[in-house]
Amino acid sequence: MTFTRAKIVMAMTLAAGLGLTACSSNNDEKKQTTLTASAPATGEASTLSERNAQQRLVKTLEQHFKTAGIQAKITEVKTTEVPNLYWVSLEGMSAVYATSDGKYIFQGDVIRLGDKQLHNVGESLQAGTNKQIFASLKKQDLLIYKAKGETKHVIYVFTDVSCPYCHKLHEHMDELNSKGIEVRYIAWPRGEQFIPAMESVWCSQDRHAAFDQAIAGAELPAASCKTPVREHYQLGLNIGVNGTPAIYSADGVYLGGYLSPSELLKRLNN
């Protein structure tokens, strides 16, 4: 099969159109090393030979992208536990795997076999990036439902008022909060046509009441302020969100789509 330039670009710009996830014991790993495109790793983070290998990979990929007409900026390179396979973060796109010679890139899951539980090689690598992103978000840009009593867990949920499974999850908000779970909603409209409704929620003086109404099917007045909705949507694309709800722990670990309160708490405790 011959891949056209358009298909390569489509593969690199995420799986937003490949289907929705809703409306649809970690083993010890080898020490990871990281190289940012602007600041090469130093000291104990990597051996000199490894740093050189990563730098060569960045240069090779940049040249290949340029030759293919792919507009992609490399922001970070990490080693993986798989020999000669690297995790490459791209600005405005989800991460890709790349072979050490820079000739091949691909997206998807690389699974380690040998244990009773399957291990996703890229999960911890992406989680580290997600954790930094979530920590950088401004609370005033989120829709937060605080835990009742002691806060035992904080989760980040990409949500959309048009999504039935988001509605179903929201119906359990009191129970989630009672279990000590603080829910932080991030706006993620599943299509251009749903952006106005999400902007109306985020623009409302009482964002909680507006969200309750919108997710129940009510039509809200048009937004009249600047909102972070589109930025939230791009953020979701960057980390691989392709449907709602998409639930993450504060450590950046993807927990799943819709989960019952008991199942969600079980995953958080694990």
Which pLDDT score, from 0 to 100, does residue 137 have? Answer: 97
Range from 36-45, 128-137, 145-154 carrying the lowest mean pLDDT: 36-45
For the annotated catalytic residues, the residue numbers are 160, 163, 166, 190
Q: State the pTM of this model.
A: 0.78
Q: Which domains are seen in the chain, by residue range?
A: 5-132 (3.10.450.70), 134-269 (3.40.30.10)
270: confidence class by pLDDT, cuts 50, 70, 90: confident
Question: Given a cut of 70, is residue 133 above it in pLDDT?
Answer: yes
Locate all alpha helices (DSSP H) within the chain, ordered by sequence. 5-12, 48-68, 123-136, 164-170, 173-178, 195-203, 207-215, 229-239, 261-269
Which pLDDT score, from 0 to 100, does residue 173 have? Answer: 98
Question: Given a cut of 90, is residue 22 above it in pLDDT?
Answer: no
Range from 5-19, 91-105, 122-136, 159-173 carrying the lowest mean pLDDT: 5-19
Give the residue, 92 or 178, on which the prediction is more confident: 178
Question: Given a cut of 50, is residue 7 above it in pLDDT?
Answer: no
Residues 6 or more apart from 158 whose CB is under 8 A from it?
186, 187, 188, 232, 236, 241, 244, 245, 246
The 10s digit of each residue's pLDDT in 189-214 is: 999 999 999 999 999 999 999 999 99
Which pLDDT score, from 0 to 100, does residue 115 have? Answer: 92
Which pLDDT score, from 0 to 100, does residue 162 have? Answer: 95
Nearest-5° Cα angle at 254, 39 to 208:
105
Alpha-carbon gap, residue 181 to 2, rounded angstroms: 48
Question: Given a cut of 70, is residue 18 above it in pLDDT?
Answer: no
Question: Given a cut of 80, is residue 220 above it in pLDDT?
Answer: yes
Question: Given a cut of 80, is residue 4 above it in pLDDT?
Answer: no
Which pLDDT score, from 0 to 100, does residue 31 have? Answer: 39
Average pLDDT over residues 68-90: 93
Average pLDDT over residues 178-199: 96
Q: Percent of the chain beyond pLDDT 90?
A: 75
